[in-house]
Amino acid sequence: MKAFLKSVLSMLLVLAMVGPAAAAEEKVVYHVSDIANAIDALYNIRNHLRASPAAKIVLVANGSAVEFLIEDAKDKNGNPYEIMIQELAAKKVQFRVCNNSLVGHKIDKSKVVPEATIVPSGVAEIGRLQSQEGYGYIRP
């Protein structure tokens, strides 16, 4: 019985120390590699922020998805992506664009929306966010 109480107290102590810190900051990276998933990702992020307004969110685009972070880009219904990008950026969502994909798709860096930051490699950025900054991974 004494050993049981000791283990329960140890567990409670660990939860007391870790629990509040873990709950204090929710950090996630949304990975979008296909432009067909871009609008869904933006809506998912909007809904995520409604449920968790303090969440720290980074969207990383690579592959064909970089095309939605280009000035004047429109979805399949002709709606501009920039409106929702600006709305989410105002809520502190960060957008990162893979330079390798820009080069591969022959897209000039100057065409990237101002809300987005160009990173050398999208997948390397995702790896860095997960391993060094503790971000969870979401792929819509």
Domains identified in the chain and CATH numbers? 25-138 (3.40.1260.10)
Give the span between the Cα atoms of 17 and 28, in whole angstroms: 22
| Residue 24: predicted pLDDT | 55
Q: State pLDDT tens for residues 9-25.
A: 344 443 444 444 445 59
Parts of the chain with a pLDDT under 70: 1-24
Q: Which among 31, 40, 115 has a CA at the least distance from the CA of 71?
A: 115
* pTM more than 0.85: no
The CB-based long-range contact list for 114-123 (8 Å cut-off, 24+ gap) reads 115/85, 115/86, 115/89, 116/61, 116/69, 116/85, 119/60, 121/62, 122/31, 122/33, 122/60, 122/61, 122/62, 122/63, 122/96, 122/97, 122/98, 123/62, 123/98
Give the span between the Cα atoms of 28 and 45, in whole angstroms: 10
| Residue 97: predicted pLDDT | 98
* Element housing 12 (H / E): helix 2-24
| Residue 7: predicted pLDDT | 39
